[in-house]
């Protein structure tokens, strides 16, 4: 027997156990071992039924994704399924931990499924830009009906055992002893007069949709509405729909074809890159397993404004009790009213229950007195973005907070090292930069100051994960990774308008690139007055942006900005008044207007941002190109199917990007276009950015 799979017999039950830590992935040895074990059970006259289970903490995490993109080795996962499904003796999958992807697909080829109460089941292939490729799209609809199958396959999210039992993916939920219950279940199936039918032979759940697929199609349309140019969610629907009119074996073959086509496509490559990038982002030099995070059982947030309220919610949602400190009762009331309203909306939408809302609200308390937060393990400051205000707050925190408390700032731009100097404990200070709305957005930039101690970083990483964020460790500089690159992306916005593009032209180029919003629609949403005030305080100007604000056009909140919104905030209409303003400013400044192509817009916005990313890498502000991708995917809605700016740049060709940057640098003189040394080096060597950083040629 292959070492990764063990076989034992207990009475009339053969127990086949997958042992391939950490997640019992169905690599070659496991596939081979399971088939061999099934053959052995089939041949053993004393065995009447089989239990298939996972050793260690879990059933199976699915296919071994390190094999993706390599030459496939037989037996394949579909071969494993066929072997289980065609056994003459019933096979029961005994699931604990999780059954994901191929793991769940194999269990669907068994004749019964039982799981522990805390088990989780999922077909998450869509998140890697794929469809389930081992029969999931054909067997699941036969088990629970095509609509319910789409609910599992298109979003790809885990389903708990209770829900899985309700919808019929599971036959039973086990008591204390999964294996004992699974054996009893298998023996029952073996003793029954009629052998349980394999899912390939079941058609009853498909009949309604075969007669009239309109409800299924409508449901599919709702589920894929947010697919935003991603191919995989649509391919999932196509595959499930095949169950209605394509014979089972033919549908399996087509499912496999679609799977392989997606696997070789750019989007899946990008999404697989992001899957690994997110894990890689947790690896921080100098912070290994020996660095223990501090315990955070109580937190405090300073400021109950836009960010403070959202951060307090994020913590409360993750189970951490929080005290919010504000300047006065009025500010507290305002902040709490917003929080209450947000939770009420979630209850109305059905995303949380009223009890859950009350539990979360119960974790929040408020105060105006620093003594009430002195024993918090972590404080996150989210007061006005002014160094003088922040310094006063950190001075005060240094006075009152217990020793060992972590002091974090949510600043967007300010120097975290300067802030730390206001305390006698700079090792306990760091930046924890959340994104708005902080209770929703996944990105958390963890800003490591010069003196921040490793266990403080480890704590922020652990807490970030606990509250469902995607943390990325970054260094101190103006705007850190995300906002600094955003500034470079915006540097040519005004020039593009003056030279002939309309706000709608620029926004359309962004939508076509895959962003869900362009920069001008985004500016209108966020409020143009914010940037205007910042510019005034820094003595900067922007011909068009300033003129709009001077005319009282702050964006959606005033009904007018770069667009007009007379039919509601979602209905941005190009405004001839703005076109005239732009033309007039261009004339004043002596700028000749011409047609501007979508390619030019991308070159003058996205390329500078990539260039800034390369500078950020040179300076060590981000540890690796993939960290930058994670920042942009989770904080700035960079299109997932493009894998993040740095991944996309490599796909688009660094040499081409450097050449175009040089061209625009020559033409405009704008320093955002001056190619970064790292970019030049990688382009010249024909290597990846990561290899150029490591100073070696790309051997991949
Ligand atoms: P805000 O103006 O909505 O809220 C600031 C709150 O802090 C107000 O409620 C104010 O009463 C309170 N406050 C001011 N001084 C205080 C003090 N000394 N003690 C206690 N409370 C005090 O501002 P917002 O947008 O929440 O920003 C807060 C911080 O978060 C800033 O540093 C900002 O740069 C940063 N940030 C903002 C983002 C955004 O999208 N708004 C995104 C990420 C970071």
CA–CA dist 469, 463 (Å, integer): 9
Evaluate: CB of 276 within 6 angstroms of ligand 1. no
Examine the domain organization and report whether 604 and 582 are in the same domain. no
Q: Is 327 in the pocket of ligand 1 (CB under 6 A)?
A: yes
- Together in a domain, 162 and 121: yes
Instruction: Judge whether 288 lies within some domain.
Output: no
Atom of ligand 1 nearest to the CA of 413: 34
- Say whether both 315 and 245 belong to one domain: no
The count of residues in the chain is 700
Q: Closest ligand 1 atom to the C-alpha of 409?
A: 32
Q: How far is the CA of 670 from the centre of ligand 1 (A)?
A: 33
* Ligand 1 centroid to residue 693 C-alpha, Å: 37
Contact 135 CB / ligand 1 (< 6 Å): no
Statement to judge: residues 582 and 523 lie in one domain: yes
What is the Cα–Cα distance from 369 to 295, expressed in whole angstroms? 24
* Any domain includes 486: no
Q: Same domain, yes or no, for 81 and 186?
A: yes
Would residue 577 count as lying in a domain? yes
Question: Which residues of the chain are under the pLDDT cut of 50?
Answer: 1-2, 697-700
Same domain, 39 and 168: yes
- Considering the domain architecture, whether residues 426 and 460 belong to the same structural domain is answered as yes
Q: Going by DSSP bridges, is the β-strand pair 563-564/573-574 parallel, antiparallel, or unpaired?
A: antiparallel
Domain carrying residue 602: 598-698
Residue at 151 is within a domain: yes
In a domain, 509, yes or no: no
* Radius of gyration of the chain from its Cα atoms, rounded to whole angstroms: 28
Look up 659 and say whether it is catalytic.
no
Looking at the structure, do residues 73 and 212 belong to the same domain, yes or no?
A: yes
CA 439–ligand 1 middle distance (angstroms): 15
Residues 65 and 155 in one domain: yes
Q: 375 alpha carbon to ligand 1 midpoint, in Å?
A: 23
pLDDT of residue 696: 53
Task: Locate the ligand 1 atom nearest the alpha carbon of residue 381 and give its number.
Answer: 29
DSSP 343-406: HHHHHHHTSS-HHHHHHHHHTEEEES-GGGGTT-SEEEE---S-HHHHHHHHHHHHHHSPTT-E
Given the residues 36, 42, 85, 105, select the one marked as catalytic.
105
337 CA to centre of ligand 1 in angstroms: 16
Ligand 1 pocket check for 373: Cβ under 6 Å: no
Question: Is the residue at 289 inside a domain?
Answer: no
Cβ–ligand 1 distance for 410 under 6 Å, the answer: yes
Which of 382, 433, 442 to mutate to test ligand 1, by most ligand atoms within 8 A of the CB atom?
382
Give the closest residue (by CA) to ligand 1 atom 25: 306
User: What's the pLDDT score for residue 333?
Assistant: 98
- Nearest atom within ligand 1 for CA of residue 309: 26
Q: How far is the CA of 199 from the centre of ligand 1 (A)?
A: 56
Q: How far is the CA of 347 from the centre of ligand 1 (A)?
A: 27
With a 6 A CB cut-off, is 367 part of the ligand 1 pocket?
Answer: no
What's the total number of domains in the chain?
Answer: 4
Q: For ligand 1, is residue 305 a contact (CB within 6 Å)?
A: yes
ipTM score: 0.99
| Same domain membership, residue 527 and residue 610 | no
Among 301, 303, 522, say which to mutate for ligand 1: greatest number of ligand atoms within 8 Å of CB: 303
For 158-190, what is each residue's pLDDT tens digit?
999 999 999 999 999 999 999 999 999 999 999
Minimal-distance CA residue to ligand 1 atom 28: 382
**163 token code pair:** 């829900």
Q: How far is CA 648 from CA 263, 415, 632, 695, in A?
A: 17, 30, 12, 21
Q: Residue 455: which CATH number? A: 3.40.50.720
Query: To test ligand 1's pocket by mutation, which of 300, 301, 302, 308 has the most ligand atoms within 8 angstroms of CB?
Result: 308
Which tokens sit at 484? 């600094």
Q: What is the CATH number of the domain that holds 242?
A: 3.90.226.10
Q: Does residue 385's CB lie within 6 angstroms of at least one atom of ligand 1? A: yes
Q: Please identify, among 213, 240, 264, the residue that sits at the C-terminal boundary of a domain.
A: 264
**Which class for 599: exposed (0-12), middle (13-18), buried (19 or more C-beta within 10 A)?**
exposed
Assess whether 122 and 258 both reside in one domain. Answer: yes
CA–centroid distance, residue 495 to ligand 1 (Å)? 31
274 within some domain: no
pTM passes above 0.90 = yes
Alpha carbon nearest to ligand 1 atom 1, residue = 305
The closest residue, in CA terms, to atom 15 on ligand 1 is: 383
Catalytic: which of 74, 85, 125, 257? 125
Q: Is 695 left (phi over 0), alpha (psi -120 to 50) or beta?
A: left
Q: What is the CATH classification number for the domain harbouring 551?
A: 1.10.1040.10
- The closest-lying atom of ligand 1 relative to the alpha carbon of residue 390 is 18
Task: Indicate if 309 and 458 belong to the same structural domain.
Answer: yes
The residue from 588, 609, 641 where one domain ends is: 588
The finding on whether 302 has its CB within 6 A of some atom of ligand 1 is yes
Q: Is the CB of 382 under 6 A from ligand 1?
A: yes
Of residues 680, 650, 601, the one with CA closest to residue 269: 650
Based on the residue annotation, tell me whether 166 is a catalytic residue of this protein. no
Q: What is the pLDDT of residue 196?
A: 83
d(CA 331, CA 335): 6
Residue 395 lies in a domain: yes
- What pLDDT does 66 receive? 82
Pick the last residue of a domain from 452, 480, 508. Answer: 480
Classify strands 364-367 and 172-173 as parallel, antiparallel or unpaired: unpaired
Q: Would you state the pLDDT for residue 207?
A: 96
């Amino acid at each position: 027997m292959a070492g990764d799979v063990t076989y034992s017999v207990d009475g009339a039950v053969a127990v086949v156990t997958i042992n391939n830590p950490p997640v019992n992935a169905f690599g070659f040895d496991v596939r081979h071992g399971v088939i061999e074990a099934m053959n052995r059970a089939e041949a053993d006259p004393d065995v009447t039924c089989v239990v298939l289970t996972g050793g260690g903490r879990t059933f199976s995490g699915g296919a071994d994704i390190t094999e993706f993109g390599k030459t496939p080795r037989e037996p394949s996962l579909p071969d494993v399924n066929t072997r289980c499904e065609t056994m003459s003796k019933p096979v029961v999958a005994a699931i604990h931990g999780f059954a994901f992807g191929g793991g769940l697909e194999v269990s669907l080829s068994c004749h019964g499924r039982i799981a522990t109460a805390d088990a989780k089941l999922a077909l998450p292939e869509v998140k890697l830009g794929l469809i389930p490729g081992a029969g999931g799209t054909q067997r699941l609809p036969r088990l629970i009906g095509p609509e319910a199958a789409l609910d599992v396959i298109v979003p790809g999210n885990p389903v708990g055992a209770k829900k899985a039992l309700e919808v019929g993916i599971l036959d039973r939920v086990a008591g204390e002893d999964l294996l004992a219950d699974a054996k009893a279940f298998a023996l029952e199936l073996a003793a029954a007069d009629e052998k349980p039918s394999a899912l390939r032979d079941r058609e009853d759940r498909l009949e309604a949709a075969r007669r009239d697929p309109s409800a299924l199609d409508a449901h599919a349309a709702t589920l894929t509405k947010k697919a935003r140019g991603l191919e995989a969610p649509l391919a999932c629907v196509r595959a499930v729909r095949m169950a209605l009119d394509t014979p089972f074996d033919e549908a399996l073959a087509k499912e496999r074809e679609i799977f392989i086509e997606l696997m070789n496509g750019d989007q899946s490559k990008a999404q697989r890159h992001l899957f690994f990038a997110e894990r890689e982002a947790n690896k921080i030099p100098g912070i290994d397993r020996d660095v223990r995070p501090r315990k955070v059982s109580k937190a405090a947030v300073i400021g109950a404004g836009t960010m403070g309220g959202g951060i307090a919610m994020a913590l409360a949602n993750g189970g951490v009790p929080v005290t919010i400190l504000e300047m006065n009762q009025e500010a507290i009331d305002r902040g709490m009213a917003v929080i209450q309203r947000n939770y009420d909306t979630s209850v109305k939408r059905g995303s949380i229950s009223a009890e859950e809302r009350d539990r979360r609200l119960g974790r929040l308390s408020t105060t105006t007195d620093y003594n009430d937060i002195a024993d918090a393990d972590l404080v996150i400051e989210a007061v006005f973005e002014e160094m003088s205000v922040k310094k006063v707050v950190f001075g005060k925190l240094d006075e009152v907070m217990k020793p060992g408390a972590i002091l974090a700032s949510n600043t967007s731009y300010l120097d975290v090292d300067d802030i730390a100097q206001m305390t006698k404990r700079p090792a306990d200070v760091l930046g924890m930069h959340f994104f708005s709305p902080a209770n929703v957005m996944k990105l958390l930039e963890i800003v490591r100051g010069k003196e921040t101690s490793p266990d403080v970083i480890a704590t922020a990483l652990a807490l970030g994960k606990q509250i469902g964020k995607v943390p990325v460790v970054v260094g101190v500089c103006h705007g850190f990774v995300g906002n600094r690159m955003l500034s470079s992306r915006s540097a040519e916005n005004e020039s593009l308008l003056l030279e002939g593009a309309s706000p709608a032209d620029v926004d359309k180029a962004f939508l076509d690139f895959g962003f869900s919003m362009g920069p001008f629609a985004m500016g209108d949403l966020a409020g143009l007055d914010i940037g205007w005030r910042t510019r005034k305080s820094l003595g900067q100007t922007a011909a068009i942006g300033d003129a709009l604000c001077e005319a009282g056009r702050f964006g959606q909140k005033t009904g007018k900005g770069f667009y007009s919104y007379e039919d509601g905030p979602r209905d941005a209409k190009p405004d001839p008044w703005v076109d005239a303003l732009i033309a007039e400013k261009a004339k004043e400044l002596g700028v000749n207007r011409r047609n501007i192509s979508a390619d030019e817009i991308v070159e003058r916005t996205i390329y500078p941002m990539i260039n800034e990313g390369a500078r950020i890498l040179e300076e060590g502000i981000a540890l690796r190109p993939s960290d930058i991708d994670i920042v942009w995917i989770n904080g700035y809605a960079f299109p997932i199917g493009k894998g993040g700016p740095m991944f996309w740049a490599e796909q688009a060709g660094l040499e081409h990007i450097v050449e175009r940057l040089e061209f625009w640098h020559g033409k405009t003189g704008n320093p955002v276009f001056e190619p970064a040394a790292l970019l030049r080096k990688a382009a010249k060597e024909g290597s990846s950015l990561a290899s150029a950083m490591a100073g070696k040629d790309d051997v991949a």
